[in-house]
Structure 1
Amino acid sequence: MKIGLRRRHFLGLMAAGATLPLTTRFAQAATPFAFQASWINDAEFAGYFAAIDKGFYAEEGLDLAYLSGGPDVIPESTLIAGKSDLTLTTPDTTIKAIVEQGAPFKIIGAQYQKNPIGIVSLVSNPIKTPQDLVGKTLAVPPVNVVSVEAMLKISGIDRAAVTIVPYAYDPTPLIKGEIDASLDFTTNVPFTISQQGVEATSFLLYDFGFTIFNDTVVVTDETLAGKRKEIVSFLRASRKGWEENLKDPAAYPPTFAERWFKGTGRSIENEVFFNTAQKPLIEAPGGIFSMSEEAIAANIEALAAVGISATREMFDTTLLEEI
């Protein structure tokens, strides 16, 4: 999956503005806007990197501060602390915060129409369905246990029938046969395992009833009221960046090797695999970030299976109508 921390990147319009007359530069001063990513710099965020490098945010009048994430970063907390204007989250954690803590969040878009999180196992000991997990040991990151429990419940499987142990985003125990499967990003980990000379197989929780988005785009009610224009500009530029990146998933990762991806310890071949695998999970008939009424209803139903009471009012699709 995704490991480590990265530095912050603050990008502005200085270079572009230097070629403009002084009056134009001051008249068109960019608006600061901070975006908190949900993890380290990998292909999960390739569309945003493309949008930055192509100048799409600058064209929208935004001075974007891109904040890298990592295991020690709680995206929603950066909104509450005022460190970011917008972030990416998982809808289960965000909606739990709204319901249980009264958090002033609004979900305004979804990067992943289908959540890329799934069950990864080895071809030599395949786990192809939730039923195959009965009597097996599954490693799950603590933050994702609720998702696995939801899938098991929806599939009619007793939670006690599966041994769930903590997972630290390292496929080594799976490769060594110490566990039977792990919960991870299916867009990434199978490639990592293959590099060890072992073939992996996987399935999405989404395909077995836990039909939720991932990397939901979230803002606070206050930011939504005060920076609506900037949020729409961010969505418009980001959509352009993702469309550009996904034209050819193999094209952009090599250009990020010494900049955005530097220091991750992963190969560019890995990032190309990731970028290619995520394309069908991101693209949608309504456009990137879209949330159809059917998809929202599916999210609400899936979350209800684990006692998370989502409502339609927690999702705002009106900004997407403006891009």
Structure 2
Amino acid sequence: MSGLENPRRRQLLQTSVVAGGLAASGALLSVRCLAANRAAINMQLGWVPGGNQVGEVVARRLGYYEQEGIDFRIQAGGPNIDGVAIVASGRGEVGQISSSPSVMLAVSEGLPVKCFAVGLQQHPYAFFSLKKTPIRSPQDMIGKRIGIQATGLVLLKALMVRHRIAENQVNIVPIGADMTPLLSGRVDAVTGWQTNVSALKALGADRVDLSLWDSGVRLYALPYYAHTSTLRNHPEVLQRFLRATARGWLYANKNRDQAVDLLLKDYPSLNRVDERASIDSLMGYAFNKDSGTQGWGTMDPAVWQEQISLYAQLGQFRARPPKLEDVMTLDILQATKSSRLMV
């Protein structure tokens, strides 16, 4: 999974939303049109489902959604599927995307979506180097060759702005998603998610990590978002969804072996050894001191405002920067706090 969804898709979104305007009313009606006290939630992803959905898989397999009256389905994304456009046009009740900036960029383009919770308290995006040429701090990047995917370029630039590193001080090398350029010596660092155990195995014990979050670029990962009409007209449905989802993540955190077993029942092509190692890393990002006091899924408006201000500084908004209250809401979190706390 890359740092951000392809930003070129953003220019297609407004057209998609207009074309899907009538579909929006139909999708929102689906929240109301099941049997009494029941609702449909289609969670649209921006990628092919896998280990990042372990909490939802556990919640569905253990009947938590059923107990909340939710008919829950995960809808796969992929390279040619724009999940934000689907939710913004009303063809999905809830969406999840890899990184929080994708939500605020969509909102800045006038799309009617808003984040109401986040799956991971810190983004696991990092720069990976080897001990022979370690990059342990942003200043270590000066004079180095940094391999980067197109979708992650803005994250590198954000880090450089934070640490006042000029672009001509770093050799930026466009690469793909694998670790080969680092292992072959073509670059001094590559990027990826620290939770992607299967990809990182190739680097072995010589791996050196530089976390984006620890470098001062604080983003959220796996944000949950919904159409603003759903948030306005059906908050109780989103509350039920979030209660069940939180229970799934809390259970998965305490019962990791069983959680991986349930995950493989839904996605048998996954490698159990890799997923068992990955869940340990994943839960370290899903649960921290903030989730300990505020519950799984919590988020801080100050972190969101940091992102908006930083992306405005980088010139990432083609339109005006969005307002904080248009990007995120704490309403669903506040209504479900007791259900999201670890017990």
Q: Which TM bucket (shorter chain)? A: 0.7 to 0.9
Give 2:324's aligned amino acid: R
Partner residue, 2:209: 202
Counterpart Cα distance in 2 of 1:304 and 1:273? 37
Counterpart Cα distance in 1 of 2:35 and 2:118? 33
Give 1:188's aligned amino acid: N
Match of 2:182 among 171, 174, 177: 174
The question of whether the paired residues in 2 share the 8 Å contact of 1:150 and 1:306 is answered with yes
Q: Is 1:65 aligned to 2:73, yes or no?
A: yes
Partner residue, 2:266: 260
In structure 1, stretches of 5+ residues that fail to align are: 3-25
The question of whether the paired residues in 2 share the 8 Å contact of 1:91 and 1:216 is answered with yes
CA RMSD of aligned residues (A): 2.3
Counterpart Cα distance in 1 of 2:331 and 2:313? 27
Looking at secondary structure, tell me which structure has more helix per residue: 2
Cα 1:213–1:27, aligned 2, differ >3 Å: closer, same or farther? closer
Partner residue, 1:21: none
SS in 2 for 1:279: helix
The question of whether the paired residues in 2 share the 8 Å contact of 1:33 and 1:63 is answered with yes
Cα 1:218–1:55, aligned 2, differ >3 Å: closer, same or farther? same
Cα 1:137–1:248, aligned 2, differ >3 Å: closer, same or farther? farther
How far has the Cα of 1:206 moved from its partner?
1.0
What per-residue deviation string (whole Å, max 9, x for no partner) do you get for residues 245-279 of structure 1?
1114344213322x333234xx2222122211122
What per-residue deviation string (whole Å, max 9, x for no partner) do you get for residues 83-115 of structure 1?
31111122212212222x211121111111111
Counterpart Cα distance in 2 of 1:302 and 1:247? 36
Q: Is 1:320 aligned to 2:326, yes or no?
A: no
Q: Is 1:95 aligned to 2:104, yes or no?
A: yes
How far has the Cα of 1:229 moved from its partner?
1.7
Matches within 5 A, 1:24-39: 30-39=38-47
The question of whether the paired residues in 2 share the 8 Å contact of 1:108 and 1:320 is answered with yes
The question of whether the paired residues in 2 share the 8 Å contact of 1:153 and 1:159 is answered with no
Give 2:89's aligned amino acid: A
SS in 2 for 1:252: helix
How far has the Cα of 1:54 moved from its partner?
0.8
SS in 2 for 1:57: helix
The question of whether the paired residues in 2 share the 8 Å contact of 1:213 and 1:299 is answered with no
SS in 2 for 1:207: coil
Match of 2:231 among 221, 224, 236: 224
Q: Which runs of 4+ in 1 moved over 4 A?
A: 26-29, 195-198
Partner residue, 1:306: 314
Q: TM-score, normalised by structure 2?
A: 0.78
Counterpart Cα distance in 2 of 1:243 and 1:321? 18
Partner residue, 1:240: 247
SS in 1 for 2:91: coil
Matches within 5 A, 1:37-186: 37-89=45-97, 90-99=99-108, 101-186=109-194
Q: Is 1:278 aligned to 2:282, yes or no?
A: yes
How far has the Cα of 1:316 moved from its partner?
0.5
Aligned residues: 295
Cα 1:167–1:44, aligned 2, differ >3 Å: closer, same or farther? farther
SS in 2 for 1:153: helix
Q: TM-score, normalised by structure 1?
A: 0.83
Counterpart Cα distance in 2 of 1:171 and 1:63? 40
Give 1:74's aligned amino acid: D
SS in 2 for 1:103: coil
Cα 1:197–1:147, aligned 2, differ >3 Å: closer, same or farther? closer
Give 1:171's aligned amino acid: M
